[in-house]
Amino acid sequence: MGTLQGKSIIVTGAAGAIGSATAAVLAREGARLMLVDVNGEQLAARAQQIAAMGAEVQAVRADVSRGEEVRSFVEATRRSYGRVDGLFNNAGVEGHIMPTWEYDEAEFDRITRVNVNGVFLGMRHVIPVMLEQGSGAIVNTASIGSERGLAGACTYNASKHAVVGLTRTAAAEAGPKGIRVNCVMPGVIDTPLLESVLAPMFNGDIALGKKTLGRISPLERIGQPVEIGEVVAFLLSDAASFVTGAAWSIDGGALCTIRH
């Protein structure tokens, strides 16, 4: 028996690196999954991989920044599985790299709509279902950027601070009703997106880029997507029954010290 046996869990951003790695961990632990992403093609491929593990899985192409689409995939989950036990509210976008005083207003709004409104809307539509059930667990994806400034990424940085605020507020509100709300703060994680950022910075020497960035943490390496997934699975499971309102850094210790 897995730690999430039979639980019905929605994963947003499920076509991406962290979302898909986490979905695989949740499937291994026995969860029934509703995978959501705006990238329908990649989502279908991920869903096939998870189904090949023997898991019960469905996939819906949807935009988390649109309330009507969120309401619809939450309802679809309840229709299919009878309940919604968990939400991994993980879809996110990074945006352009630009100093605050040059940042494009439309880009600021676009990133905010996905990273802030999207996280809000996930909780806005899932929590009423969990209230009816009297139970449920939510994990939102923040970032180590929730605790530090990130030069060049004002909207991403502000949005990830907001995710922690949304998490703590929902935890305070829904705790008395038996619903837990936490967030994870990944550090530098080994994803295709990271490689695309490192390539120009390190003249194509991606391995050197990963090694260099890894030095921000005492473990002296960057993380793997599955290392986020394992913590998310724990937080969504009953083993974390006394954990709510927490912002868990998963960063090899990067936030705990100043490396020099």
Ligand X SMILES: NC(=O)c1ccc[n+]([C@@H]2O[C@H](COP(=O)([O-])OP(=O)(O)OC[C@H]3O[C@@H](n4cnc5c(N)ncnc54)[C@H](O)[C@@H]3O)[C@@H](O)[C@H]2O)c1
Instruction: Note the residues at the interface with ligand X (CB under 6 A).
Output: 12-13, 15-19, 37-39, 63-65, 90-93, 114, 118, 141, 143, 186, 188-189, 191, 193-194
**Rounded-to-integer distance, Cα 132 and Cα 191, Å:** 37
Selecting among 156, 171, 209, 228, the annotated active-site residue is 156
Least separation in angstroms between residue 41's CB and ligand X is 10
Nearer to ligand X, 40 or 128 (CB): 40
CA neighbor of 36 nearest in space, from 114, 142, 134, 145:
114
**29 vs 63, which CB is nearer to ligand X?**
63
Q: Which residue is closest to ligand X by CB?
A: 16
Q: How many CB atoms lie within 10 A of CB 204?
A: 10
Query: At which residue do the structure tokens 């005492």 appear?
Result: 218
Amino acid sitting at position 217? S
Nearest CB to ligand X, comparing residues 112 and 141: 141
Least separation in angstroms between residue 19's CB and ligand X is 6
> At its nearest, how many Å lie between ligand X and the CB of residue 119?
9
86 or 186, CB closer to ligand X?
186
What residue has token string 């991403």?
156
Beta-ladder partners of 248: 184
The answer to whether residue 156 is catalytic is yes
Cβ at position 114, least distance to ligand X in Å: 4
**Tokens encoding 220:** 């002296």
Phi, psi values for residue 11, rounded to 5°: -120, 120
Amino acid letter, 149? G
d(CA 108, CA 95): 8
Residues recognised as catalytic: 156
